[in-house]
Chains A and B, each alone.
Chain A
Amino acid sequence: MTAVPAILAKELRVEMRSKQTINAYLLLSLLILASFRFSLALFDPDYQTLAAPILWTTIFFSGMFSIAPSYRREAEQGTRDGLLLAPVPASDVYLGKMLSSLVVLSALEAFTVAVFLAFFPVDVPEPGALVALLALGTVGFVAVGSLIAAISANLRQSEVMLPVLLVPVLLFTVVMSAVSGTAQVLTGASLDGVAEEARLLAAFAVVFVAAGYLLIEYVMEG
């Protein structure tokens, strides 16, 4: 695992250099939330109930696209062979990229939540619990998202293949648990109240990180 900090540092540097990239994802989040807001404004629904699905859907879709470049970059710029030749185990590369995506996604989520609260008339009775659930859900999401991004970077139509591959895997695992837990938290449940969902999200995080760590070498080999 020795190479992980180095890879993390390099990935973050690349992200910082291309500042336009993260702006595009922030914009994407904003636009997704805006389209929800505009289309729902016609109906005057109960936003407190709809909050969890809207928030997580936005996070998943904008987040998904923000994870993609980290592997597609290698495929496009031909740096993949360099990575393969260097005596760095593939699993270190995976962890480094995953952590870097986590950093980017945290910033993206913070922005998304802020915009969400600005757009929608929603109360947050338990902000601590909300943040905890967001964090837990995001780790699992990024773990499996990174692995799938690594796969889709090699495919034709890679932009559309990422959601095609990722959504079925996430749907009944991270998505349902995160949305269920968040919905309860927004109606007043404390973190103990959603212990079930929190534990599940933590379990997903562990399983997906392990899976990514073990399987990435098969995805990256020449």
Chain B
Amino acid sequence: MRLPPSVRIALLAAAAALILAAAYLGLVAVEVPESWRDETAPDMFRTMFFHVASAWVAYLAFGVTFVGSAMYLRSRRLEWDALAASSAEVGVVFCTVAIISGSLFAKGTWGVYWLWDDLKLMMTLVLWLVFVAYLALRANMPGRQRRASLSAVFGIIGVICIPLSFAANRIWVTTHPTVIASSSGDIGPGSALALLLSVLGFTLLYVLVLGMRLEVEHLRDELEALKSRVGD
């Protein structure tokens, strides 16, 4: 599944444009909203967009892994497994970025790198653990078909437990800022736009990176096929 170069360049340009626009808005143009102004470092608010967008992509990637896993079990076509695996790897990258940027944001605004009683933080950490476990599973299973089946089953289990965990842990107190909901939307229209742009831009970036990773996966499969022919 090779994206033609023209499509790739277009995607890259669009992603870059969106992200730069969001960055400009967030870092320069927008005013820090009321509720944030009396924090210790009000300008920290501006770095929020990057974190939110990468967390969104991490969850999106996970969703794609789930779809790939389910479709593989249904159809037995290895392309779905390739999609699931590639999205998992890309997902780990963005999830790592989300956790690090979130941690930096927390340090800047609240003075601590981590909060062990915050729901969204914990969920993202669990997501990261599930991703990594999934990749560890694949690394320890040599046969192509079996690897695909086993990781598909684990992928589905992993995904099931994310909404289960959300439901379960609404009993926990959260200090995670809920800026996105329009009801508590006191971040102002400029920031909302920046948020939207950054999410869109990161999504395109994800598609791009996923395409590249899929290509590597596809090449690996071809190489294996070639190797087995040479073995004859």
Asked if A and B touch directly (CB within 8 angstroms), the answer is yes
Interchain CB contact under 8 A, B133 and A165: yes
Interface of B is mostly: helix
Our pick among A171, A218, A219 for the contact of B129 (Cβ within 8 Å) is A171
Q: Please report the total number of B residues contacting A with Cβ < 8 Å.
A: 30
A144-B122 contact given A151-B137, A164-B133, A173-B164, CB 8 Å threshold: no
Interchain CB contact under 8 A, A157 and B140: yes
B-contacting residues, A84-131, CB 8 Å: none
Interchain CB contact under 8 A, A172 and B126: yes
A218-B152 contact given A144-B157, A155-B140, A173-B168, CB 8 Å threshold: yes
Our pick among A147, A164, A176 for the contact of B136 (Cβ within 8 Å) is A164
Given the complex of chains A and B, what is the CA–CA distance between A176 and B169 in angstroms?
8
A-contacting residues, B146-160, CB 8 Å: 146, 149-150, 152-154, 156-158, 160
| Interface assignment of A22: CB less than 8 Å from any CB of chain B | no
| Interface assignment of A168: CB less than 8 Å from any CB of chain B | yes
Q: Please report the total number of A residues contacting B with Cβ < 8 Å.
A: 31
A-contacting residues, B126-146, CB 8 Å: 126, 129-130, 132-133, 136-137, 140-142, 146
Q: Per-residue CB proximity of A192-212 to B under 8 Å, as 1/0?
A: 000011001001100100010
| Interface assignment of A177: CB less than 8 Å from any CB of chain B | yes
B143–chain A nearest beta-carbon distance, Å: 9
Interchain CB contact under 8 A, A200 and B129: no
Interchain CB contact under 8 A, A215 and B137: no
Q: Which residues of B contact A (CB under 8 A)?
A: 73, 122-123, 126, 129-130, 132-133, 136-137, 140-142, 146, 149-150, 152-154, 156-158, 160-161, 164-165, 167-169, 171
